Structure 1
């Protein structure tokens, strides 16, 4: 953290104390220019937020250790508090200049996660912080949800791992939604609103997938924002047909759509032979008139199906 390093340099110059701070695995965080490793050095554990570090200095400065550690910890907490307040402000309103400052923290295109659970949110935050100790990853509680912002190579895999870690430790229900933040047009509020919308759609349409990528909810968004009069017409036309479908067929439809209309993948997920799946799809065509192996018909069917689920 650049601001903390600047403070540590000023602290060294003003106090005359030469010291070194590193992570527990030895990665250097800060080192005084004149600090030298020797047998006369002493070591102290230093806790900054959820991260643990090691403070090294000559034993001749031993009497100053408590004051030195207090100064560092206090400054770190001050920086974090100001940082979280700025982020909270960006989640609530657009601020071009602050968005630019935050954007500079990230190398690639960052992602905003929202973690929603039916357990103590701070217990969940503690688990998340154990997974991500880098200062370049922002974690915080906002409006009873956990917010995570950072650069991740495998976004979906991170979301799945995060959810599984929380569930296995807290034995609770947990849903994770996420939205990418464009580097070219960095807008934290837009990403947050998108991730919140994904959670709304998850609940509204009783989606089974509990790790939700906003960008993959195109049809759900179309159904959600469709004109109410058109929704009523669709319900009038298809409600009776959907009402007659049994739970096995409904589950088959959900999996087929979730797997991008791929017969082989859907059959594997349902633990059935592909011929069994084809039989069910043909049966659905006879009962509803829709051939969901055809993309155009599948798109119309899915939107109609979502509207039916919304009104169940």
Structure 2
């Protein structure tokens, strides 16, 4: 896979110039200066899109630094920045020419997917990890506001979400949350897909949805609850708060898994690694403590809405 790091390696090898490139966050993007003392080097500021970086070279190659800087900045713009800026312009409502979009972001001519990734760690390290997974032909990945945003055409979207999460958590040892939304054909749909994914990310975190992967299409219920009027939320919270707060973690896990399994006792017991009778005992306890039997659909609907509102309030 050809990427920016591969280009830097080729550049150093073909020119014979050793250099180190460090992001403004202090992340080492490339280094062929190993073993060279700091006193033998000079530092030059360069621009990588809207971000700055430090280019460190040997003093003996000082005359070549300007050309090296120009070459690196140009390649970065070629690979990333033009596409990044075009996506930002679309999201922020800046006028863009359709022909430019079609040529630069051809995947928007067909149905695409937008991933929004929140990382509890360095966004730049996570960005680099994703650029190793996906080349610029299949997806564009940028830092937008306080998250990573990736757009492209994918099959088995859920599997890609899991792969992204696994790559970030295993390589960077960093917790991450991912939401994704469908982008129908056409650039006009990109902004609405972003807003949808952004809302799902907020809701998924507030409701502590398992696996930290949030599919916009499957979160209609949660979005409806999230947008209930404050007055209605307060009424339900007043009725249930003390009851929910008294539950231990086993009961909380039971509620979440039972709901996730579509109120199916056998499946939920299997997922919870408990005997079916143990689950029934817990459901009886929940019914006795709250007055709601969540094995009954109508009672479960009210209970689940109240439960999500309680989780949102914590």
> Same fold per TM (> 0.5)?
yes
Deviation, structure 1 residue 97: 5.8
Instruction: Supply the distance in 2 between the matched residues of 1:171 and 1:115 (Cα, whole angstroms).
Output: 15
The corresponding residue for 1:143 is: 145
Instruction: Supply the distance in 2 between the matched residues of 1:311 and 1:243 (Cα, whole angstroms).
Output: 11
Aligned 1:21-100 pairs, distance under 5 A: 49-50=4-5, 74=74, 77-78=77-78, 80-93=80-93, 98=98
Q: Is the 8 A contact 1:112 1:191 kept in 2?
A: yes
Q: 1:176 aligns with which of 175, 178, 181?
A: 178
**Between Structure 1 and Structure 2, how many residues are aligned?**
254
Instruction: Supply the distance in 1 between the matched residues of 2:83 and 2:105 (Cα, whole angstroms).
Output: 13
Q: Any unmatched runs of 5+ in structure 1?
A: 1-22, 24-46, 56-66
Deviation, structure 1 residue 123: 1.0
Aligned 1:212-227 pairs, distance under 5 A: 212-227=214-229
Deviation, structure 1 residue 122: 1.2
Q: 2:271 aligns with which of 252, 269, 288?
A: 269
Instruction: Supply the distance in 2 between the matched residues of 1:108 and 1:285 (Cα, whole angstroms).
Output: 49
- TM norm structure 1: 0.71
Deviation, structure 1 residue 292: 1.9
Q: Any unmatched runs of 5+ in structure 2?
A: 11-66
Aligned 1:155-166 pairs, distance under 5 A: 155-166=157-168
Instruction: Supply the distance in 1 between the matched residues of 2:261 and 2:101 (Cα, whole angstroms).
Output: 37
- TM norm structure 2: 0.70
Deviation, structure 1 residue 115: 1.4
Q: 2:126 aligns with which of 124, 127, 137?
A: 124
Q: Is the 8 A contact 1:292 1:298 kept in 2?
A: yes
Deviation, structure 1 residue 267: 2.0
Structure of greater Rg: 1
CA RMSD of aligned residues (A): 3.1
The corresponding residue for 2:20 is: none
Instruction: Supply the distance in 2 between the matched residues of 1:242 and 1:49 (Cα, whole angstroms).
Output: 51
The corresponding residue for 1:18 is: none
1:229 aligns with 2:231: yes
Q: 1:110 aligns with which of 112, 128, 139?
A: 112
The corresponding residue for 1:200 is: 202
